[in-house]
Amino acid sequence: MHRWTLLASAFALLGLTSVSATPFNPAEFGGRDQGYLVPGVYFTSAADTSAVGLTNTCNAHQVHWVFTDTSGTVQGRGSFTILPTETRPFVLAQALPASAVGRFGTLMFVSDTDGDGKLTSADEQCLVVEAFHADLTRNDAVFLPVWPFNTYDFPGGPGTGINDLSIMVPGMLSRLSSGIEDEPGADVRTIYLRYSIGGGDATRMVVWSAETVTQPLLSLVSQFDGSKAELVPITLPGTQLSVLDVGTLGFPSGLTNGLIAMVAPDDGVGDYADTAGDGNGIAAYTVIESPSLGAAQTILATWSR
Ligand SMILES: [Ca+2]
Ligand SMILES: [Ca+2]
Ligand SMILES: [Ca+2]
């Protein structure tokens, strides 16, 4: 009830039809950091695949990568040398085995600039990363957001990262400070996700959480014209990455185009167990496919307190 009181208060302040909240873009564009997460990537063929561009702003060094699916299982990993000023394409369909076809997952990249096989505070922030999903059959490409991280996001805080990059997995992250954070203790935020499921539209909702969320998250789903708003519990089924087809979430009739206002998972009410006592971090966005427009678009989540 406490959380719903807060959510109701937030909506009372914002007004149901103007839930623009405080626009805040938790993803990163053109920044540099030690590592990057790209959640919600997949491929079905060489002509329908997610792809990443990595640009090196430092000296030549090894970049380690791993792809885990929604259950947290490693479907592929490796490393490559990136040269100074090189922009290197990383195409999922070329990097993963055929057994990973159709699996949504998270790509994780880490720079090892001092070559010790570890991520520590001694590794420079060298990578600039962008991502997209290309569907050559439809002649369409969809922007995919990326989230940077560094040693601050691992248990032990700054200076302590990954002891062995050859076995790294996104599950080692205990927070995501570039995402929507939940601080330890009392701290409640609301995540706003755009959706459209009427008129043949489909919406894919991608939520990555550093901590595994164990409780359904009640959400206020509203129609843009203000005609309807109802509370709907949404379960995040993945260990970290959850990819949901919004059309299957059982929204009441009349909710076809609008906003999902989800109370962010909170350690204070037991939505997750807080690894390392450093709170949580969420990366979230939706991809809306509109056959009537022949296009898909990515919309980043925003949040408010
Ligand atoms: Ca290193
Ligand atoms: Ca944590
Ligand atoms: Ca909290």
Q: From the first residue on, what is the mean pLDDT of each consecutive set of 10 residues in the chain (305 residues)?
A: 37 33 47 94 97 96 98 98 96 98 98 98 95 90 95 90 98 96 89 97 98 96 97 97 98 97 94 95 96 89 93
- Ligand 3 mean position, distance from CA 275 (Å): 12
Q: What is the DSSP string of 35-90?
A: EEEEEEE-EEETTEEEEEEEEE-SSSEEEEEEEEETTS-EEEEEEEEE-TT-EEEE
Ligand lying closest to the C-alpha of residue 113: 1
In sequence order, what are the beta bridge partners of 45? 48
Ligand lying closest to the C-alpha of residue 273: 2
3-class state of residue 268 by DSSP: helix
Ligand lying closest to the C-alpha of residue 240: 2
- Ligand 3 mean position, distance from CA 13 (Å): 22
Q: Which helix (H) or strand (E) holds 247?
A: none
Ligand lying closest to the C-alpha of residue 185: 3
Burial 202-224 (b: 16+ CB within 10 A, else e): bbbbbbbbbbbbeeebebbbbbe
Ligand lying closest to the C-alpha of residue 117: 1
- Ligand 2 mean position, distance from CA 151 (Å): 13
- Ligand 1 mean position, distance from CA 109 (Å): 13
| Cβ pair 224, 199 in contact under 8 A | no
- Ligand 2 mean position, distance from CA 200 (Å): 39
pLDDT at 295: 84
- Ligand 2 mean position, distance from CA 274 (Å): 4
CATH 2.60.290.11 in the chain is located at 35-172
Tokens of 50: 């997610």
Ligand lying closest to the C-alpha of residue 3: 3
- Ligand 3 mean position, distance from CA 176 (Å): 14
pLDDT at 30: 60
pLDDT at 29: 58
In sequence order, what are the beta bridge partners of 220? 231, 261
The CATH topology of domain 35-172 is Hypothetical Protein Tm1070; Chain: A (2.60.290)
Tokens of 171: 């599950």
- Ligand 1 mean position, distance from CA 163 (Å): 9
pLDDT at 137: 85
Q: Which residues surround ligand 2, an ion (CB under 5 A)?
A: 174-175, 274-275, 278
Tokens of 206: 């991608």
Ligand lying closest to the C-alpha of residue 210: 2
